[in-house]
Amino acid sequence: MAKKVKKKDGPIKETIKTVFYALLIAGAIRTLIFQPFWIPSGSMKSTLLIGDFLFVNKFAYGYSYASCPSYFGVDFCGFAKGSENRLFGADPERGDVVVFKHPLSGEDYIKRVIGLPGDRIKLVDSLLYINGTPVSRTPDGVFVETYERQGPVGSTPRCSNGSPRLGEACEKQRFTEVLPNGVSYSILDFGNYRADNFPEVTVPEGQFFFMGDNRDNSVDSRYSQTGPERGVGFVPRENIIGRADRIIFSSAGRSMLYFWTWRSDRFFKAVE
């Protein structure tokens, strides 16, 4: 008896199948392991610059509704919202740079973990206090960048050396801050600002307090979620997406296609 020969799919069907499986694999990786994130603002300078491209490690803290990406405006894991339980869950540590969903708008933000559940946080003349103890802060020179329109949005940086013209140097004082667990990182300060003094608050159970490293240019947990600047406030555990571990690519231009604006010295740089 002659053996039946299986008919091969046509080239169009084969292409459709290939694209489908590729999208399926990419979606699984994005949902379960890594999520790409492009830095849109200067709130985390000098740790992260506008135009840095990184992957967010989702496995670091486990999974919640926020771990599931939205497509075409549809939140596919919205049914799980409101649960404090995280699959394979682990809490971030002080000093981790974390991507999370804004508690009200659902937008993705990236900031540094400063306060854990139960911590008392305050700022006095820009000096951070955790549980009544001032955090070590030492001068670390001056951060200098070119005063120019940055990234796709085209925003200009804030400077401590007055109002430079386009193309001139923009300066900010840089400090090294060391948290109680020994994590150290650079922060920027360009002078007196209203958020330099922040009354003591206690971080509620199951929530976290975040701040940007560019202290005078970061709308973070020091600002109310419902205020005019749509601050972050306290962030629930379930809103955490993952940890920023490494910069993969970086471009200072309005588009990643402008190869002459690539920052090759930042490729594959660890986030500290």
Residue 10 burial (10 A CB sphere; 0-12, 13-18, 19+) = exposed
**Choice among 2-16, 27-41, 113-127, 155-169 with the minimum mean pLDDT:** 2-16
**What share of the chain has pLDDT > 70, as a percent?**
81
Q: What is the pTM of this model?
A: 0.83
Residue 40 identity (one-letter amino acid): P
CA–CA separation, 262 and 268 (whole Å): 13
pLDDT in the model for residue 194: 82
Using alpha carbons, list the distances in angstroms from residue 45 to 3, 81, 83: 67, 32, 33
- Compare 151 and 114 and report the one with higher pLDDT: 114
pLDDT in the model for residue 228: 76
The 10s digit of each residue's pLDDT in 34-58 is: 688 899 899 999 999 999 999 899 8
Segment 91-98 shows an average pLDDT of 96
Give the model's confidence band at 70: pLDDT under 50 very low, under 70 low, under 90 confident, else very high. low
Q: Do 263 and 252 form a contact (C-beta atoms < 8 A)? A: yes
Q: Over the chain, what is the mean pLDDT?
A: 84
Of 69, 110, 64, whose CA–CA distance to 218 is shortest? 110
pLDDT in the model for residue 259: 81
Active site residues: 43, 111
CA–CA separation, 152 and 162 (whole Å): 25
Q: Do 83 and 64 form a contact (C-beta atoms < 8 A)? A: yes
Segment 210-230 shows an average pLDDT of 90
User: Which residues neighbour 140 within 8 Å (Cβ) at sequence distance 6 or greater?
Assistant: 174, 175, 176, 186
Give the model's confidence band at 30: pLDDT under 50 very low, under 70 low, under 90 confident, else very high. very low
Residue ranges and CATH numbers for the domains of the chain are 36-270 (2.10.109.10)
pLDDT in the model for residue 12: 65
Give the best-scoring range by mean pLDDT among 5-14, 87-96, 104-113, 147-156. Answer: 104-113
Q: Do 154 and 255 form a contact (C-beta atoms < 8 A)? A: no
Give the model's confidence band at 242: pLDDT under 50 very low, under 70 low, under 90 confident, else very high. very high
For the cut 60, the answer to whether the pLDDT of residue 133 exceeds it is yes
Segment 77-101 shows an average pLDDT of 79
Give the model's confidence band at 27: pLDDT under 50 very low, under 70 low, under 90 confident, else very high. very low
pLDDT in the model for residue 15: 55
Give the model's confidence band at 256: pLDDT under 50 very low, under 70 low, under 90 confident, else very high. confident
